[in-house]
Amino acid sequence: MVIKTKNTTLEEWVRLAPKAGESIAVYAMSNTARRLIPLYLSTGIKIICILDRDPALNGTFYNGIPIISPDEFSDKDKTIIICLSVAFMPVLRRLRSMGFKKILPYYFYLLDKEIKLDISTIEDAQAAYFDNWMLSRPANDVLDYVDIPVTMKCSLRCRDCANLMQYFSSPRHADFETMRRSIEKLFAVIDHIFEVRVLGGEPFMYAGLYRYIEIIKNYSSKYTLLTVFTNATIIPSQKNLDALKDPMITLQISDYNNPRQKIPELLSVCEKNGILTKINKGFRWQDSSRIRRHGRTDAENMELLRKCVVHRCAAVVDGKLFYCPIAGNIYTLKAAPEEYHEFVPLLDDKALDCTIKDQINKLMRTKFLKICDFCGGRPLYGNDIPAAVQTDKALEYEKYGDSL
């Protein structure tokens, strides 16, 4: 059985997997790492350091574990666990070129147990990870990621925006009252959300962004991370900056190398205001945003979902919870017939909280979504395209009704 990573066999990966008592390094300070470090420690594995290329993190600690640059790490025989999914292959290649010999994906601990050896590619291994771990968790557990899109307006218009902003000819802000009630209902019915993701479009296009942040902060015991995503074209108002001053909030800046971005200025303002930032640079874009009916079979769409990296990233749109942001935005755009939209109505006054919670658990554990047939898919590898290519007008698509 060969996993397509330079001829590393699955058996070899299993052999490399660290055992209790062994010490490892983790790459990088990602959300996946935050989730899995406690699990690794609970199995008796020791973590000597976290490798991360962000100079701002180097020299700091996470739960007592030092964060250092990979360049500073000289133990070439030490096992390194890559806690990244989409970027796994480029990082694997880079670490191998630096001389590191034992490198494994974050779900290594499943390779010799739950995953049956009917896998031939690393994508299958990733999908099996979701089958075995994500989907088998207790029904009253957590939501992993929830997108709160506060506006469809964006200061850039990326032709291949994964959130489908390029299709909105008359973008608008989310209705504040509807979103406020949706957020409050979600926190009322869900035990815990790992990461709440506030985004747009460009969230700072909405001057009242701070109002959402303040509402979400009221539920800080119910989430682990609150991340606000920006393209750094707008320097936020002082009111919005004040709302972001919180150790649980990170302002994630997407660096597209676009001349309209003001990254140094934004970083300086954030530093002055004590706001945590993270720059996302050089990340992969995939050709997944062509919305049209693909006409796949149900089995093909199930496989698309199984291998989709947007697994369990729910999105709140128009008082409804969707499985993923693409499903939410296809609904907003009315880019698929009515019967393709599956969601949980969050604002149904007649529904009991426990009913809404059951509906969310059912939706987020589904293995088949009709709407996937209108999506290009987000596989772990492939479909790579240049990032943030701009278009000057909204893209056309087939409409099945008036967009919201």
The nearest distance, CB 288 to ligand SF4, in angstroms, is 7
Cα 206 from Cα 153, distance rounded (Å)? 8
Residue with tokens 């490399």: 16
Q: Which of 79, 231, 240, 261 binds ligand SF4 (CB under 6 A)?
A: 231
Query: HSE of 125 in the Cβ direction (CA atoms, 13 Å)?
Result: 26
201 is an interface residue for ligand SF4 by CB under 6 A: yes
29 is an interface residue for ligand SF4 by CB under 6 A: no
Q: Which of 105, 149, 203, 377 binds ligand SF4 (CB under 6 A)?
A: 377
Closest-CA residue to 232 (of 201, 261, 274): 261
Q: Which residue, 79 or 166, is less far from ligand SF4 as judged by CB?
A: 166
151 by Cβ neighbours in 10 Å (0-12 / 13-18 / 19+) ranks as buried
333 is an interface residue for ligand SF4 by CB under 6 A: no
Q: Which of 209, 308, 317, 380 binds ligand SF4 (CB under 6 A)?
A: 308
Closest-CA residue to 220 (of 185, 196, 254): 196
36 is an interface residue for ligand SF4 by CB under 6 A: no
Q: Which of 24, 65, 127, 161 binds ligand SF4 (CB under 6 A)?
A: 161
Beta strand spans in 176-318 (E): 192-199, 223-230, 249-255, 276-281, 285-286, 313-317
143 is an interface residue for ligand SF4 by CB under 6 A: no
Q: Which residue, 69 or 155, is less far from ligand SF4 as judged by CB?
A: 155
Which one of 20-28, 79-87, 161-169, 177-185 is the stretch in contact with ligand SF4 (CB under 6 A)?
A: 161-169
**Residue 190 CB neighbours (<10 A):** 23
Helix axes 176-189, 353-364, angle to 10 degrees: 90
Pairing of strands 46-51, 61-62: unpaired
Number of shown-chain residues binding ligand SF4 (CB under 6 A)? 26
Which one of 180-188, 199-207, 275-283, 340-348 is the stretch in contact with ligand SF4 (CB under 6 A)?
A: 199-207
Closest-CA residue to 45 (of 24, 26, 65, 29): 24
Closest-CA residue to 119 (of 275, 14, 265): 14
Q: Which residue, 16 or 394, is less far from ligand SF4 as judged by CB?
A: 394
149 is an interface residue for ligand SF4 by CB under 6 A: no
Q: Which residue, 46 or 292, is less far from ligand SF4 as judged by CB?
A: 292
Cα 173 from Cα 179, distance rounded (Å)? 10
Q: Which of 190, 304, 316, 336 binds ligand SF4 (CB under 6 A)?
A: 304
DSSP class of 109:
G
Which one of 200-208, 217-225, 241-249, 356-364 is the stretch in contact with ligand SF4 (CB under 6 A)?
A: 200-208
Q: Which of 143, 152, 165, 336 binds ligand SF4 (CB under 6 A)?
A: 165
The nearest distance, CB 187 to ligand SF4, in angstroms, is 23
DSSP 110-152: GTTTTS-S---SHHHHHHHHIIIIITTS-TTSEEEEEEEE-BS
Q: Which of 275, 369, 380, 395 binds ligand SF4 (CB under 6 A)?
A: 369
The nearest distance, CB 109 to ligand SF4, in angstroms, is 25
* Contacting positions for ligand SF4 (CB under 6 A): 154, 156-158, 161, 163, 165, 200-202, 231, 304-305, 308, 310, 323-324, 326-327, 369, 371-372, 375, 377-378, 388
